[in-house]
């Protein structure tokens, strides 16, 4: 019997996914992004074992966790810090993704105080409208940063799909490669072309995009085995490296539609219900405080998620041959949002299996 909700990570499958991704992208250096697992050192080591050359984190707390675990691989900070965090950024990470000159100047001062250098990827906005300067602003940015004493411009990068859902293609990645080539001529050496994240894998691996991209920052494909543009499996990757298990705390027959006058639910929505008569239901000890219900998929397709409150996940289990009982575990394959939630949740037990 399961006592509490648990997320189980198969590190062997994570490593195999990393190996397949890096193997499918010859000439492209892959930064393994561990942010969805809150900087899990176990996942980081599996990614490194699979061939990524560096780790990507969006929060310095996670970078600190990796360093405290003894991981010495390069760490890229993939969300720009505030200037007030410049000293911590220089101390904990090797590379950061930057688009604001004020922040880079603060990093330059921090690196000088620490007696070390810090590298940046200059981020440009190719249409997804998250972070990045507009392309026309890049030359002036490069000129200003080149004059700083303790900052190295490592490459030019972009973020695609994560906010505006813009897919990588020959047009936007081609523009990125041209911007990097121009910037490289300005600084007198070739620069990396950091062409996005998991959504750029298939355009590059399939050859549909031939732009000179030589760096990707990959998390979801390695952890969950899918292309974020379609949420479909790619490259024969494992899609069950992460499994969420939740114990049943109530099971029984109930009407399928609520009884009485309806108002808003706990989250301000007015839910709709289909009256299917009396059905067998189960409640799991897992709620929206842990993960969004819509980001979970029952491993058994006969189980249907009906909804969730803060701490309860309500299931229809009427189609199962054998009734589930209190204490039984129900397994779910989490999508990106649910994976982010269960790793962030203080209440979810984390278990790692396999690996070296």
Residue 267 in tokens: 């989250």
SS3 label, residue 103: helix
SS3 label, residue 121: strand
Show the DSSP H helices in 188-318 as ranges: 201-205, 220-224
User: 340 Cβ partners below 8 Å, 6+ apart?
Assistant: 36, 291
Q: Are 304 and 273 in contact (CB under 8 A)?
A: no
Q: Are 196 and 155 in contact (CB under 8 A)?
A: no
Is 254 noted as a catalytic residue in this protein? no
Cβ neighbours of 163 (radius 10 Å): 11
Annotated catalytic residue: which of 13, 35, 254, 356? 35
Of 225, 200, 224, give the one whose Cα is nearest residue 214: 200
CA atoms of 274 and 156, how far apart (whole Å): 51
Cα-Cα end-to-end distance for the chain: 28
Beta bridge mates, 281? 252, 316
CA atoms of 198 and 213, how far apart (whole Å): 13
User: 334 Cβ partners below 8 Å, 6+ apart?
Assistant: 7, 224, 242, 244, 291, 295, 296, 297, 341, 342
The residues that are catalytic are 35
């Amino acid at each position: 019997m399961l006592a509490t909700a648990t997320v189980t990570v198969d590190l062997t499958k994570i490593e195999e996914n990393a190996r397949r991704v890096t193997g499918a992208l010859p000439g492209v250096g892959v930064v393994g992004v561990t942010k969805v697992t809150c900087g899990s050192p176990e996942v980081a080591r599996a990614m490194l074992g699979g061939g990524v050359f560096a780790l990507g984190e969006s929060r310095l707390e996670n970078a600190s966790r990796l360093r405290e675990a003894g991981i010495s691989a390069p760490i890229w900070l993939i969300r720009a810090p505030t200037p007030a965090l410049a000293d911590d950024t220089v101390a904990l990470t090797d590379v950061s993704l930057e688009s604001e000159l004020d922040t880079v100047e603060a990093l330059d001062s921090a690196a000088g105080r620490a007696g070390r250098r810090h590298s940046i990827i200059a981020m440009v906005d190719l249409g997804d409208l998250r972070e990045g300067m507009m392309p026309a602003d890049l030359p002036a940015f490069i000129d200003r940063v080149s004059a700083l004493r303790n900052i190295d411009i490592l490459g030019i990068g972009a973020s695609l799909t994560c906010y505006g859902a813009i897919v990588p293609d020959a047009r936007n990645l081609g523009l990125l490669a041209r911007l990097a080539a121009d910037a490289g001529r300005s600084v007198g050496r070739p620069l990396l072309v950091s062409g996005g994240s998991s959504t750029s894998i298939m355009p590059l691996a399939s050859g549909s995009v031939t732009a000179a991209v030589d760096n990707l920052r990959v998390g979801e494909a390695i952890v969950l085995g899918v292309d974020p543009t379609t949420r479909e499996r790619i490259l024969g990757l494992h899609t069950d490296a992460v499994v969420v298990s939740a114990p049943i705390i109530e099971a029984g027959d109930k009407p399928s539609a609520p009884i009485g006058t309806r108002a808003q639910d706990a989250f301000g929505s007015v839910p709709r219900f289909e009256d299917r008569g009396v059905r067998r239901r189960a409640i799991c000890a897992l709620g929206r405080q842990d993960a969004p219900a819509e980001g979970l998929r029952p491993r058994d397709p006969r189980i249907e998620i009906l909804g969730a409150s803060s701490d309860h996940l309500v299931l229809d289990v009427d189609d199962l041959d054998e009734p589930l009982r209190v204490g039984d575990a129900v397994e779910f394959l989490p999508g990106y949002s649910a994976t982010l939630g269960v790793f962030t949740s203080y209440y979810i037990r984390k278990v790692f299996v396999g690996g070296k």
